[in-house]
Amino acid sequence: MPKNYYTSGDIIQIIPAVLFDRSLEVYGIKLIATGAGGGQTVAVPNTWIYKTAQVFKMIMDKDAEGINKTAQERMIKTLLGEEGWHMGRQTGQRIAVGGGGEYSPSFLSDQGKLAYQGLEDYTDALALDDMVWYKNVDSKFTGDDDINEMLEHVLHTIHRFGVRGAVEGSTAALDSEIDEGDISGTEIFLALKEAIDRGVYNISDYGEISNKDIWPMLLKEYTYLLTYAMWEFSEFWDGGTLAPEWNDNSRTQEGLLSNNPLGYALYNKYFAPVISKPSKTTLRSMFQDNDQGESGYQPDSQ
């Protein structure tokens, strides 16, 4: 019988705790959440873990229009580390409270994480990128702000560790790992460069494109912004805009086709077959002001 890759687990305890004290596995990704510790008195609520898991499920809806299930299953296998460019390391999603500075010492620094017994070995076994923060230190405590917090960082994880490897040719086309070699000719870098050159993506707050060290960060942010534009989700941004970082003329598919055609084509070729646009209505039901709203998440056992 073929393996079911669309599995939804429940929260389990991490024993012994390594600052992260609970985990949940969903569609190939291992969510890990902090408990109270490191000077932080607040643990990530279970409800926020479930909301994170549900958002991952919504973005990987096998029944959504335009999804190539074969490629999407390959994405989940890549996320699991069963195959692909980070084979042997399952993708993880860290969830914590506030920001790195809310923990003493910060577990995000190379030196700081050594203060938490077992943390380095535990996290080194996972393919990790960004954080999802509960009550981000910059939070406005609105539902739309929570949607932005969740989607941006969840997309960073899926884009890097899953989408790259799903559609045939994507491993090379979406390479943003500068330690793997020259990426200046990849499809994703050329799309980024076009967005910068045409005034769609303003990187002045990050540095100069000549600085190769910032390329992975630029590409990570670019693919998030590209996805938001293709989904036409800019209404979740404060005032509906991120100008001048992202030009208001490119907040829609039509705008991207005109101003960043390489990005438009890149998304449709590699992203659209494997990730699905979540329902705005459902997101706003899940994420309401002041932490209200239900996740709707159901583990497989229920």
Enumerate the domain spans of the chain.
Answer: 1-167, 173-272
For the chain, the first-to-last Cα distance in angstroms comes to 22
pLDDT at 117: 96
Question: Cα(233)–Cα(145) distance, rounded to whole angstroms?
Answer: 12
Residues paired with 90 in a beta bridge: 126
Report d(CA 62, CA 96) in Å as an integer: 29
Alpha-carbon distance of 38 to 295, in angstroms, equals: 28
The pair of structure tokens assigned to 3 is 């393996």
- The CA–CA distances, whole Å, from 259 to 23, 221, 263, 265 equal 42, 18, 9, 12
| Residue 19 to residue 264: CA distance in whole angstroms | 41
- Kind and range of the H or E element at 280? helix 280-286
pLDDT tens for residues 161-175? 999 999 999 999 999
Distance CA 171, CA 189 (A): 13
How many separate helices (H) and strands (E) can be counted in the chain? 10, 6
Question: pLDDT at position 301, please?
Answer: 63
pLDDT of 149 reads 94
DSSP state letters, 114-160: GGSTTHHHHHHTEE---EEEET-TT----HHHHHHHHHHHHHHHHII
Q: What is the pLDDT of residue 3?
A: 87
In the prediction, which pLDDT does 180 show?
84
* Partner residues linked to 95 by β-bridges: 33, 132
pLDDT of residue 299: 96
Type and span of the H or E element at 192: helix 187-197
Q: Quick one: tokens of 151?
A: 């989607």
- Return the bridge partners of 129, or none: none
Regions of the chain where pLDDT drops below 50? 302
Tell me the Cα Rg of the chain.
Answer: 19
